[in-house]
């Protein structure tokens, strides 16, 4: 599904600023509630800046106990897009350059629109925690019984004989 921000509409808007509200579930993400975003797109000459707030609830699987749990999202978006290719001049010169903190810019390569749906999909995915844990007290599942404290995968070594070298 696409929700497009047309660059032409942005350029024609008062103060070259458009406001956008998004309130839908995102395909490919287990959304408990729709993802809600209040966004502001601003044309800054050769760049477009999209800022705003994103909220919603997604269902995740705990990495420890494998149970499903709800995770609340509430984060800010601050994305910068370049209308023209930034790399063209660097490609011709063959020079390398380093992207420093705060310099990440998405190159539109002359595209006439920005896909807000895709922007929000990527932002939500990047704001899901790397370690998904259902709660601070989660101890995970007990895969080994209390009686058998030996890992059953090590049973293949029970009949192994080790012959020490005679000196």
8 A C-beta contact, residue 94 and residue 22: no
Q: Which two tokens stand for residue 99?
A: 């992207």
pLDDT digits 0-9 by tens, 81-140 = 988 765 555 545 455 545 555 557 788 877 889 999 999 999 999 999 999 999 888 888
Residue 162 forms part of a structural domain:
no
- Give the mean model confidence (pLDDT) for residues 61-71: 93
In this prediction, residue 98 carries a pLDDT of 53
8 A C-beta contact, residue 110 and residue 84: yes
Is residue 30 scored above 60 in pLDDT?
yes
The model's confidence at residue 28, banded by pLDDT at 50, 70 and 90, is: very high
Is residue 72 scored above 50 in pLDDT?
yes
Is residue 145 scored above 50 in pLDDT?
no
What distance separates the 2 farthest-apart alpha carbons in the chain? Answer: 91
Counted domains in the chain: 1
In this prediction, residue 67 carries a pLDDT of 92
Is 0.95 surpassed by the pTM of this model?
Answer: no
8 A C-beta contact, residue 42 and residue 17: yes
In this prediction, residue 126 carries a pLDDT of 93
In this prediction, residue 1 carries a pLDDT of 61
Residue 44 forms part of a structural domain:
yes
Instruction: Outline where DSSP puts E strands in 7-145.
Output: 17-24, 35-44, 47-61, 68-82, 106-107, 113-115
Domain, as residue range, for 85: 4-132
Burial annotation 104-127 (CB, 10 A radius, 16+ → b, else e): eebebeeeeebebbebbbebbeee
Tell me the β-bridge partners of 113.
6
Tell me the β-bridge partners of 163.
none
Residue 161 forms part of a structural domain:
no
Angstrom distances, CA of residue 73 to CA of 31, 46, 66: 10, 31, 20
pLDDT digits 0-9 by tens, 34-62 = 999 999 999 998 889 999 999 999 999 99
Residue 143 forms part of a structural domain:
no
The model's confidence at residue 144, banded by pLDDT at 50, 70 and 90, is: very low
Q: Give CA–CA dist 31/125, Å, rounded.
A: 12
Q: Give CA–CA dist 36/51, Å, rounded.
A: 14
In this prediction, residue 140 carries a pLDDT of 80
């Amino acid at each position: 599904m696409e929700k497009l921000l047309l660059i032409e509409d942005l350029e024609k808007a008062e103060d070259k600023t458009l406001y956008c509200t998004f309130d839908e579930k995102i395909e490919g993400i287990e959304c408990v509630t729709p993802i809600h975003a209040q966004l502001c797109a601003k044309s800054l000459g050769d760049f477009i800046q999209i800022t705003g707030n994103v909220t919603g609830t997604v269902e995740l699987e705990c990495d420890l106990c494998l149970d499903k749990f709800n995770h609340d999202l509430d984060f800010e978006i601050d994305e910068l897009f370049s209308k023209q290719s930034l790399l063209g001049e660097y490609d011709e010169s063959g020079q390398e350059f380093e992207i420093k903190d705060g310099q990440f810019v998405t190159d539109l390569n002359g595209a006439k629109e920005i896909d807000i749906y895709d922007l929000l999909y990527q932002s939500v995915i990047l704001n899901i925690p790397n370690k998904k844990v259902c709660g601070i007290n989660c101890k995970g599942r007990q895969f080994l019984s209390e009686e058998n404290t030996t890992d059953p995968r090590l049973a293949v070594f029970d009949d192994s004989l080790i012959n020490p070298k005679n000196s």
